[in-house]
Amino acid sequence: MTADDNKKATNAMGSVVKTFNVLEALSNYQSCELTYIVKKTGYPKSTVHRILLTLIELGYVKQFSETNKYGCTFRILNLGSKIVGKNTIVLAAKAILEEMETITNENINLCLPDGNVLVIVSKRESNYSLRPSQPIGQRLPFHDSANGRAYLAHCNQEMRRGIIERLYNDGSISDILSFEDRLANIRREGVALEIEEHIKGVGCIASPLFDHTGRAIGTLGIATPTVRLKEEKISQFRSLVITKARELSNQLGAELS
């Protein structure tokens, strides 16, 4: 490959990165102005505008004529749905999610890791009018969500140390030792609980999922408004999520008693 070829490849890679950064900025809101995307990405206005025009042409972004704002189309959701729909964990979890929702009438979330966060990839929603708003694709941080801490407590030590270091460096946690103690308690109990730490008015209880090698691969969680999360519910939900996470893990090849 010549120096000119290398330069072209580097430029192409940079364009791809910029395009995905624009899409991620757009995905934070139903619609947003060009100035927001420019501020969020740090790219020149002309660059962002050019990327948006390309994405509009491809059908992944639309511009609303009434406001001139931009928003993602359902074509992106379709891509994600195809990926999630073929995921063996999602397929195996379907019946368990339905059963848990029937028992609790609360939101049941299946979460899988994606870089430095967990992502809700499948869910069953409560029938109550008062319920947490947690769309598929929502990203859950490791430090203040029950699902995040349940996963972090059980992932391999090297990964856990790296994530904890990043959390400390970006100010998400202030005391590494106390945070590690908290994770150790979650490992002993097999379940994580958080109340209004991640979302005001919402509590969540989550347990880890394991594959046939014993590796933590995700979490199963119950989310509910705190007004319904009484002591007896906490006890009931803890027992249920531990049992069902173990059941799903065994279906995925783990050998948990």
Mean pLDDT within 197-220 = 94
Confidence at residue 80, expressed as pLDDT on a 0 to 100 scale: 62
78: pLDDT confidence band, cut at 50, 70 and 90? low
pLDDT given at position 9 = 45
* CA separation for the pair 48, 56 (Å, rounded): 12
pLDDT at position 10 over 80: no
Does residue 149 contact residue 194 with C-beta atoms inside 8 Å? yes
Q: What is the pLDDT of residues 30-53, one digit of tens each?
A: 788 999 999 999 999 999 999 999
* CB-CB neighbours of 213 under 10 Å: 8
Contacts of residues 65-71 at CB distance under 8 Å and 24 or more positions apart, as own/partner, are 67/31, 68/33, 68/34, 69/31, 69/32, 69/33, 70/26, 70/31, 70/32, 70/33, 70/34, 70/37, 71/26, 71/29, 71/30, 71/31, 71/32
Question: Is the per-residue pLDDT at 7 higher than 50?
Answer: no
- Measured from the Cβ of residue 90, the count of other Cβ atoms closer than 10 Å reads 17
Q: What does pLDDT average to over the chain?
A: 89
- In the chain, the domains with their CATH numbers are 3-77 (1.10.10.10), 87-251 (3.30.450.40)
Per residue in 56-74, pLDDT (tens digit) is 999 889 998 889 999 888 7
Residues in the chain: 257
Mean pLDDT of 233-247: 97
Distance in angstroms (rounded) separating the CA atoms of residues 98 and 220: 12
